[in-house]
Chains A and B, each alone.
Chain A
Amino acid sequence: MKKAFLLIWFVLIMTSSVYGRPVLVLNTSNAAPNATKDHTGLGDRVIMEACKRIGVGVKIIVLPSERALINANEGIDDGNFARISGITSLYPNLVRVPEEVTEFEFTAFTKNLTIQTTNWASLKPYNVGIITGWKILETSIVGAKSLIRVKDERVLFNLLAQDKADVVVYDKRQGLVLLDDMKLVRIKTLSPALAKRSMYIYLHKKHQALAPELAAAIKTMKEDGTYKKIIDETVPLQMQ
């Protein structure tokens, strides 16, 4: 009995010493090429590499966009990626890792070849679709003919495919992958992009100490070419 107790204590001690740093559970609502089911997306790989470099384990789970933020903010999960800067005002328990993980191009997708968009205001004449929880879109698209909010990107593009919306706004890279995945044709992206935003990792404040480390690790990856290498391996060339 005594031996058994000692064994358990040893295991615990060993565990805490060998694995003294926690395993982060990061959630994401991104789709390919940022995040994939098998965690081989751009974001997946950058985060796993960065965490590896700072010695922190990581587990990535996919959640709906808002649930992902809530869970991260409430500490159910340890963090969330990839989000634009500035969401801490709504989710005060989150801390941004101050190094860009990837960049989103908020682009209009349409089947109507006559539509031209140059800025947010140029969307006013149209029925526009977005995904619920994309804050930049909810705050920037003002005065459109109608603004349809859906829960995920597949529903979003079905709107377009079924002519229930004139235009949908989504990240260009993810959109293109999704169109290919959904085998939707005759839908094009409009140039230029309506906005470009750097996307970051957010950690629950209980892990705020890790934020600088992660930032530094990502920066190092950019400097040593790891980051570029990951992009080349995860993002098709025509999307880079």
Chain B
Amino acid sequence: MENRKYRQVIGYRLLLAILAFSLVVTLLTTAIHVYIDYRREIRSIEEDFKWIQESYSQAITLSLWLMDREQLQAQLDSIRRIPYIIYVDIKANNELVVKSGKDRSDLTLHREFELTHSHNGKMLQIGVTHITAGLNDVYGAISGRAVLILVSQGIQVFLTSLFILFIFQIVVTRRLNNIAGYLVKLNPLNSNQPLVIKKRLAPPDRADELDQIVLAVNELTNNLKVTFDELTSEIERRRLVEEALRSNEENFRTLQTNVPIGLFKSTPGGQVLTVNLALVDMLGYDSEENLLHTPIIELYADPQDRKRLLDRLDTEVKVSDFEVSLKKKDGTLVPVSFCVVKTVTDHGQVFYHGSVQDISARKQAEETIRKWAHLFENAEWGVGIGSADGRTLEMVNPAFARMHGYTVEELTGRPIVQIIAPEYRQELPPYVRLTHDSGRHTFELGHIRRNGTVFPALVDITAVKDDPGHVLYEAISVQDITERKRAEEALRQSEFSYRTLAQNLPGLVYRIHVQENRHMQFLNHMLPGLTGYEPDELTQGNVCSIDPLIVPEDRDRVASVVKQAMAENRFFEVRYRLRHKDGAVRHVSERGKPIYGVDGQPIYVDGVIFDYTSRKRLEDQLRQAQKMEAIGSLAGGIAHDFNNILAPIIGYTEMILAELPKQSSMHQDLCQVLRAANRAKELVKQILMFSRMGGEQEMLPIELSPLIKESLKLLRASIPTTIEIHQNIAAKTTAALADATQIHQVLINLCTNAAHAMREHGGVLEIGLSEAEFDADTAAGYPELRPGPYLRLTVSDTGHGMDQATIERIFEPYFTTKEAGEGTGFGLAVVHGIVKRHQGTIMVYSEPEKGSTFSAYLPRIDREPETANDSSRTLPQGTERILFVDDEMVLCDLCQKMLSQFGYQVTTVSESVEALETFRKQPDKFDLVITDYTMPKMTGADLAKEILSIRPDMPIILCTGFSEMISEDRAKSIGIREFVMKPLNKKSVAEVVRRCLDEKKHNAAGAQES
């Protein structure tokens, strides 16, 4: 219905007719309207013309008479403003006087009237006024109205037509469509519904045309339905019968053909009547015919089997699960299971209907299960089946039970948690969940045996699921991994030992892969310490190597040594230099050995690299010290003889001076002698200071700060004024155990040198004192230093500085950069000796033209310094008896007089043997023995031994100029109380003698008290 063309729709045709008629009517009425409007407008213009003539004629005439053009123009403009007037002009004698607007010849109306004026008694025509009205606006307005009328009437007609169409559609067309649709869909099978249209059905006497059609259609439908129902019932009954027959037959054929069970029909006589394809395939025949032509008896592997079957069928109607072996076409046997039913026809004829099932797969499965069962029973691993929820053991093998100390029966049905060690039980549920989620999970868990012992177990659980994914049960295997754990722990310990050993060795332990460009396959963590680089910084491509760090001059030598070692399969050791990341050169020693593969080719080189830079510096310093020692020994030997020479000179001179009047010329001369001798003594002292073999100086706790200030006062006078002196004492604690005289010497020497370096151009001399601390690592670099607090005494200048070669030699004796006669070459050597004797060290930093800084490090102490002034003390005295032994008589006399002045009783002997005899005769006659060391026949040491053997408590003072043969320690070991160096002066002699005697008394008193 919906696809019908519009032309076939009644409503459409009705709409077209109405529209066409209405259009014609609209056009006619619009034309009439337009004509009437046009006439009205024309009349209006004509009336305007008349009004203009009446209103303006007189005024225009007057203006024209007066030729007042402005007035005329104003009057015409006023006229032109009247609607539709487009042009007005005034002409006199056909000549234009004034005009307003533009004259157009098309679509206009014209009017003119004469202008007459009475002049001199006559009426004169002085001009003509022309007025033009434009009709364009009239036509435009009329056209607009015509369009408006046309459109409004058109819309009115169209809407009216639509409304008529709508009413027609509602009242007629829609119901006709209902009727047509009903008839089209009319089906006698299911037309239970009568035709109903959306309209109140009128009574038959007042039924309209539609009502009559509805009634007729419904009656016709009822008649059709009765007839059709009868026909349909008969047809359906027949169809169902045929369908059932066809279905049964089809099902039977399909079943027989496709069933995987062999089917047959046979006779008791052994003839096969029918077989299906399954049986043909089962027995390996090509076709049913071939099988049907084979006697039954030939199909049995054992013909007796058929006889037994027939025997049973004689007594039983149905035989099931009768298992025999049949022969296939190719002679192989196939195990089958028979199910046979005996039937007897109405005629007494017997048939066997049976099914044959190939049970070879079942047989094989049974065999497989039997093997698995054997494996299950005899497995070494514990195997079991857990419940689906993972809580209960449903089945275990004997190994599982043995592993846990139970029998199989005892474990079956037991909760799994009971074989888990208590401390591990909380881990089980997460493992079970994980297994159920992933299907399988392997983990280690502590299991507990029946006897309570715990063992580590490797557990593997597989969740066996059905198709929807529900867990059916858990397959569990448990392995006791106690032994494996022990082995792993042993391996781990071993690996840890080797690793810590390699990592903690104080050198870079490595393994180099020879065949991969000497890639360092293993490195302990000493690489950054040795080279300053991290491994990745030394990696280029995939190769990590320190070869690029080897100083270029050493590379070939190192490569040659390693290559030679690989060729000869032996250890190698090579020393070379590495360039550290900080730019410094490190001296390293590498020792290694090649490792060979099964093919005899070197694969690796294993080795270790040690940094011996510090050791090398120590070696250099030791070498320097030894050199200084040798020079000192030489100088010390000379000094010894000098001291012996100087001692009597000074001693006797002092004694003579004491006896001579001070005003005498001899006294003055002898003063000169004594002054010169003292200078010589000071020189010897300097030499001995340098050689560290000089006379024992008394080390006292002193404050360096006032010492520095005092020294600077003295220096200021001797240093040119072009040199500024700054002092910078930053140390809070400035006490050191030192000899003030020597430290003063150090300052004098260093400052004198600094001033010398700045004497030409002036500069700044700075003396500083600060605290410093040496830790063990730093102190290790300086053999004379011990870790601890130090005072750093610095002397800096801004002079010409020194180059490296000069720095290396400045502490050597006799080395000087000064002009001949300006320096002795001993200044810095003495400084060096003094500082070392104070168990300190001295460092130099200098650059050419930038000045120099000397830093002397002296051990710092926290004790309060002693401020006693030697000169203020009175020399100690006594009355004890002293035996003085020296092979030089001069010294014997000198000391006798000196000691006598202190009140002592002195016995002098010039030979040691004689002295021993003297002592032996009267051992109690003496309270103290003073002996020289170097004496003929018997040295002072030997004499002391002898004396001590006689009187072990005898205090002995050993006195010597210089000797390598005995040191202070050795002297003390012999039993000698004091050890003093020549030349002796009164002060030192008085003090050491008194100290020995007092100590003896103290010891004696102690012995009595004890």
Contacts and interface: CB of A to CB of B under 8 A. Distances in A.
A71 interface: yes
Contacts of A132: 67, 69
14 contacts: A25-B120, A61-B120, A64-B68, A67-B65, A67-B66, A70-B67, A70-B92, A71-B119, A74-B93, A76-B120, A77-B120, A132-B67, A133-B67, A151-B66
Nearest to B120: A25
Contacts of A64: 66-68
The 8 closest A-B pairs by CB, nearest first: A66-B67, A67-B67, A64-B66, A76-B124, A151-B68, A64-B67, A67-B65, A67-B66
Interface in B33-69: 65-69
Contacts of B67: 64, 66-67, 70, 132-133
Contacts of B69: 132
Contacts of A66: 67
A74 B92 CA distance: 10
* Interface hub of B67, B93, B119, B120 (most chain A Cβ within 10 A): B67
* Interface hub of A64, A70, A132, A133 (most chain B Cβ within 10 A): A70
A151 B45 CA distance: 35
Interface of A: 25, 61, 64, 66-67, 70-71, 74, 76-77, 132-133, 151
A68 B222 CA distance: 118
Given A67-B66, A71-B119, A151-B68, 11 more contacts: A25-B120, A61-B120, A64-B66, A64-B68, A66-B67, A67-B67, A70-B92, A74-B93, A77-B120, A132-B69, A151-B66
Nearest to A150: B70
B91 to A, nearest CB: 13
Contacts, number: 22
Nearest to A67: B67
Contacts of B65: 67
Nearest to A69: B67
Interface string B58-101: 00000001111100000000000000000000001100000000
Contacts of A70: 67, 92
A74 B69 CA distance: 19
A131 to B, nearest CB: 12
Interface in B100-136: 119-120, 124
Contacts of A133: 67
Contacts of A74: 93
Interface in B266-304: none
B66 A76 contact: no
A124 B813 CA distance: 125
B74 to A, nearest CB: 13
Interface of B: 65-69, 92-93, 119-120, 124
A70 to B, nearest CB: 7
Nearest to B71: A151
Nearest to B122: A76
B117 to A, nearest CB: 10
A61 B119 CA distance: 10
A110 B124 CA distance: 41
A76 B93 contact: no
B69 to A, nearest CB: 8
A67 B120 CA distance: 14
Contacts of B119: 71, 76
A52 B66 CA distance: 30
Contacts of B68: 64, 151
B114 to A, nearest CB: 15
B355 to A, nearest CB: 141
A168 B496 CA distance: 135
A228 B365 CA distance: 176
Nearest to B66: A64
B24 to A, nearest CB: 64
B75 to A, nearest CB: 15
A71 B64 CA distance: 12
A71 B119 CA distance: 10
Contacts of B92: 70
B736 to A, nearest CB: 118
Contacts of B66: 64, 67, 151
A57 to B, nearest CB: 14
Contacts of A151: 66, 68
A66 B68 CA distance: 9
A142 to B, nearest CB: 21
A177 B101 CA distance: 43
A151 B69 CA distance: 9
Contacts of A25: 120
A25 B122 CA distance: 13
Contacts of A76: 119-120, 124
Contacts of B120: 25, 61, 76-77
A61 B118 CA distance: 14
A93 B908 CA distance: 191
A66 B69 CA distance: 11
B317 to A, nearest CB: 152
A132 B70 CA distance: 11
Nearest to A61: B120
A214 B942 CA distance: 197
* Interface hub of B69, B92, B120 (most chain A Cβ within 10 A): B120
A25 B67 CA distance: 20
A25 to B, nearest CB: 6
Contacts of A67: 65-67
B126 to A, nearest CB: 8
A76 B66 CA distance: 14
B226 to A, nearest CB: 118
A74 B67 CA distance: 14
Nearest to B119: A76
Nearest to B67: A66
A29 to B, nearest CB: 11
A134 to B, nearest CB: 13
A25 B77 CA distance: 35
A76 B118 CA distance: 11
A132 B72 CA distance: 15
A63 to B, nearest CB: 9
Contacts of A77: 120
Nearest to B97: A70
B585 to A, nearest CB: 109
Nearest to B93: A74
A74 B120 CA distance: 14
A150 to B, nearest CB: 10
B798 to A, nearest CB: 97
Nearest to B68: A151
A232 to B, nearest CB: 32
B477 to A, nearest CB: 129
Nearest to A25: B120
A64 B66 CA distance: 6
A22 to B, nearest CB: 14
A67 B126 CA distance: 10
A61 B67 CA distance: 16
A133 B65 CA distance: 14
A71 B126 CA distance: 9
A109 B285 CA distance: 157
A64 B68 CA distance: 9
Nearest to A64: B66
A186 to B, nearest CB: 29
A67 B97 CA distance: 12
A26 to B, nearest CB: 12
Contacts of A61: 120
B93 to A, nearest CB: 7
Contacts of B124: 76
A135 to B, nearest CB: 14
Nearest to A65: B67
A151 B66 CA distance: 9
A234 to B, nearest CB: 25
Nearest to A73: B93
A61 B65 CA distance: 14
B60 to A, nearest CB: 14
A44 to B, nearest CB: 17
A64 B124 CA distance: 17
A151 B124 CA distance: 22
A74 B68 CA distance: 18
